[in-house]
Amino acid sequence: MPSMSLPFPITARHKGFNRAEIVDQNFSEFVKLWEGEVRSAPRDDGPVLPGSALDAQGFRELLESQLISRHLDLMARVLRVQNKVFYTIGSSGHEGNAMVARLTRHTDPAFLHYRSGGFMAERFRKLPGMDPVMDSALSFAASKEDPASGGRHKVWGSKPLWVLPQTSTIASHLPKALGTAIAIDHARRIGHALPVPEDSIVVCSFGDASSNHATAQTAFNAAGWTAYQKLPAPVLFVCEDNGIGISVKTPAGWVANNFRHRADLDYFFADGLDLAEGYAQVQRAVEHCRHTRRPTFLHLKTTRVMGHAGTDFEIEWRSIEELCAVEASDPLLRSAAIALESGLYTRDQLLGLYEATRKRCFAAAEEADRRPKLERLEDVMAPLAPYTPDKVKAEAERADYADARVKAFGGEDKLPERQPPRHLAIQIGQALHDVMAKYPESLLFGEDVAQKGGVYTVTKGLYKTFKGARVFNTLLDETIILGLAQGYANMGMLPIPEIQYLAYFHNAGDQIRGEAASLQFFSNDQYRNPLVMRIASLGYQRGFGGHFHNDNSITALRDIPGLVVGCPSRGDDAATMLRTLTALAKVDGRVCAFLEPIALYMTKDLYEPGDGQWQFAYPPPGEAMPLGEGRVYGEDANDLVVFTFGNGVPMALRAARTIQAELGWRVRVVDLRWLVPLNDAFIARQARSARRILVLDEGRKSAGVGEGVITAIVEAGLGATPLERVVGADTFTPLAGAAFLVLPGEADVVAAARRLAG
C-alpha cells in the first residue's frame, strides 16, 4: 500500500462514494495548500529540478499530457451518466506513461494498454496539427468520425502515429507486438522495405495482473528464446504496475521478483509516479532497447485511482484508509509539487491550467456528442471484410514472375505444369513454390516446416529453394506462430504460417478470432494484417490416428467474422485456391485459412487402386479460383445433388457410382471448396434444380458446415426438397478403426440415398 499520506486530514469529503470527484478535488486542494519551497524557474532546456534528466520544457509538455489524460477520464465519468460517453476505463494513476511516449518516436509501432491516455496525449505532439482531445472525445462518444475506430470501440489507436488499436482482451497483443519487433529486423534479411525506420522499436504496454497471463508469458518466453540465439527482438515491454487487477492484488514485489532475473529479457525499473525521477529511468530502458535490439522489460510503477472503471465502486470493497492512501499516491499530485517547487508555475497558473484543460475536454466531448454515430449495419460492417473481386481476380491471375518461378523450380523443364498429374501434397508444395516466387516478401514458417518439410513433407524443398530467411522453423507455440504472422503482416510482409494440426489451432485460436481478424474492423480498415494460415486438417488418416491428428471441427473457424476459409479436395484446386487466398491478403488485407485435408495428401486413386484418377494436371499461373465458387461434378445430373467438401468429395463420387447402379439416379456432386463465407447463392442455385439433396459433412453435427448448407437451402425457399444429412458425430475422434464409427463413410452416403428413395 502506498505510504504517502495526504497533506490534509481525512474529512467527511474524503469518505464520499464518487471517488472521481474526490480525486479531482484532491488536486485543487493540494495545490492551494502546498507549502514547499519555490526555486527560481529553470530555463527551458535546464533540468526541471536539480539532478533531473527532464528539462523544464519537457516537464511542461508532459504535465499538459497528464492533465489531458486526467480530464478525459473525469469527463467520461460525468458524461457517461448522460449517455454521451460509452466507456469509463481510464488512465488515472498511469499518466506517467506519457514519458514512454516522449522518449520514443511516433514511428515506433505501439500496442497499448487501455490506460494509455497520457501516452497518447504525448505521442500526439510528435506530428503537427493533431488534437488528442478532440480525437479521444470522438472515440469516447462512439462517433462515426472517431479517427481511431470509426466509432466501433473506444480504443487508443492512430494511423499516422503508429498506434495499432487493441482489443479488450488482456495480454493478447503481446505475441503480435513481439512479432512486429522481430519483423523489423528480419526485413533486412529478405531485402524488404519497411514502412517504419530500420532502427524502430516496438512499444507494448500491459498491466501487472496481465503479465501473468499465458499469452503474455509465451511472448516473454519467445522474446527470450529469440534473444538467446542472438537474433534481434527490439520490443519494449512496459508493465504498468499499479499493484492490482480489477480487485485482485498482485503480491507485493511479484513483478520485480518475476522479471528481474530472466535471462534474455533485460529488466529496468522506472518510477512512473514521478516525472522528475522516472524520466532518466525510462530513457535508459528505451535507449537500451533501441541500441541493443534486445527484448527489454520496463517495470513502470503506477497507481490506480478512480477504480478499474466507472462501474467499479471501490468504496464498497476497500477501506477508506486504503483508498485515501492510494489516492495520495496520485502522480498528478507529485507533478503539481514539481510544477510549484521548480517555480515553473504559480499556484494560480497551475489551477488555471487544470481548469482550462477540464473545459477543453468537456467542450470536445459535447462537440463529439453532436457528431454522427454509426447508424446503418452496412456502415458498421464496412471495414470488416473488404472484397474487391476484380482486383483480387487480376492479382490472383497475375503471372508476371516467369523468371522467378523458373529459378524456383530449377529450370523450364521442371515447371510443374510440364510434369504429369500429381496428388495433393505435391501440388500444394508446388503452389507454395509459385506463391513464394511471386511474392518476395512472403515468409513460410511453423513447426518442422523447414529442413524436414513438415510432418507430411508438404513444404519439402521450400527451405532449400528460398533459404532460411524465408522458410524457417519457429519455437513450439501456436500462439507465437500466429503472433509472428501478425507482426510480419504489420510490417508489410506476406506471412504464410503453418499450424501443424487443426486441433492445435484451437490452442491459439484467439490470435485469429480476437486479434488478426478484428484489426481491420477496430481500426476502420486503416490497419491490415493480411495472412494465409495453412492448417493440416480433418480426419480419415489410416494408420495415424486419434483425435488430435484427425480433428474435424471447423466450427471454431466458421463464426470468426471476416475470416476466409478454403478447403481444397484436390491438388489443382489447391493451387488455384492458394493464388486467390494470397491475392485476397495482398489486395484486401484479408486473414485467410487454408485447410489441407491430411487424408487426401497422398491420395492418387479415386475408384480403384492404381486408377490415378485423383491426380490432376498443375494449373499454370494465370488461372485462379474465384472466391466462393464451388466445383460441380455432373452439372446436368439432378436426381440427387450431394453438397460436400474435403474428404467428402472423392467419397461422394465413389458413392455416386453405387447409387446410380442401385437406384438408377444420376448424381451431381458439389464441392463447396469455400467454407467461410459460405456462398449461399451458389448453394441455392445448385439446390434449385435438385430432385433430392444430400449434405455430406465430415465435420461435427452441431454447428458444422452442413448446418450452413441446409440453412442456405431452406432460406432459398427450397426446404420442401427431400433432404438427408450425413455428418460426423458430436464426439472426439477415437484411435484406429473406431474412428470410422464417428466419421461419415461411403456406406452412410449410400444408405442416406436409399432413405431418400424409400
Rounded to 10°, the helix 347-370/56-80 angle is 50
Chosen from ligand TPP, Mg ion, none, partner binding at 169 (C-beta under 5 to 8 Å by type):
ligand TPP
**Min CB(532)–ligand TPP separation in Å:** 27
C-alpha distance from residue 393 to each of 43, 434, 562, 570 (Å): 62, 17, 19, 21
Cβ at position 239, least distance to ligand TPP in Å = 9
By CB under 5 A, residue 314 contacts Mg ion: no
Q: Which is nearer to Mg ion, 258 or 524 (CB)?
A: 258
DSSP helix/strand/coil, 731: coil
Indicate whether 208 belongs to the interface with Mg ion (CB under 5 A). yes
H/E stretch holding 549 reads none
Angle at 396 between CA 394 and CA 402, to 5 degrees: 100
CB of 89 to ligand TPP, least distance (A): 7
Neighbours of 11 (CB within 10 A): 8
Verify binding: residue 52, Mg ion, rule CB under 5 A.
no
Can you tell me whether residue 570 is helix, strand or coil? coil
∠ CA 388-391-394, nearest 5°, is 145
| Cβ nearer to Mg ion, comparing 310 with 487 | 310
Is the CB of 245 or the CB of 589 nearer to ligand TPP? 245
Please tell me whether residue 207 binds Mg ion under the rule CB under 5 A: yes
C-alpha distances (whole Å) from 529 to each of 319, 485, 518, 546, 589 are 46, 8, 10, 34, 6
Give the Cα-Cα-Cα angle 706, 707, 710 (nearest 5 degrees).
Answer: 85
Spatial distance between the Cα atoms of 708 and 493, rounded to a whole number of angstroms: 34
For the bound state, the minimum distance from the C-beta of residue 184 to ligand TPP, rounded and expressed in Å, comes to 26
C-alpha cell at 531: 495472412
Binding footprint of Mg ion, residue count (CB under 5 A): 6
Distances (CA, A) of 20 to 89, 90, 358, 422, 589: 12, 11, 13, 69, 42
Comparison of 242 and 459: residue with beta carbon closer to Mg ion: 242
Taking CB atoms, the residue at the shortest distance from ligand TPP is 207
Gyration radius (Cα) of the chain, Å: 30
Q: How far is the CB of 497 from ligand TPP (least distance, A)?
A: 22
Is position 109 an interface residue for Mg ion (rule: CB under 5 A)?
A: no
**What residue 170 binds from ligand TPP, Mg ion, none (CB within 5 to 8 A, per partner kind)?**
ligand TPP
* Shortest Cβ 167–ligand TPP spacing (Å): 8
The Cα diameter of the chain in Å comes to: 102
Please say which residue, 300 or 595, places its beta carbon nearer to ligand TPP: 300
Q: Using CB under 6 A as the criterion, which residues of the chain lie in contact with ligand TPP when the complex forms? A: 115, 168-170, 206-210, 240, 242, 244-246, 304, 308
Window contacting Mg ion (CB under 5 A); options: 167-175, 203-211, 365-373, 642-650: 203-211
Smallest separation, CB 209 to ligand TPP (Å): 3
Cβ contact 570:425 at 8 Å:
no
- Least separation in angstroms between CB 302 and ligand TPP: 8
What would the grid cell of residue 682 be? Answer: 451458389
Q: What cell was used for 365? A: 466531448
Residue closer to ligand TPP by CB (options 514, 734) is: 514
Binding mask 209-248 for Mg ion (x = CB under 5 A): x--------------------------------x-xx---
Least distance (Å) from ligand TPP to the CB of residue 311? 12
- Consecutive H or E run containing 721: none
For the record, the C-alpha cell of 679 comes out as 456462398
- Binding footprint of Mg ion on the chain (CB under 5 A): 207-209, 242, 244-245
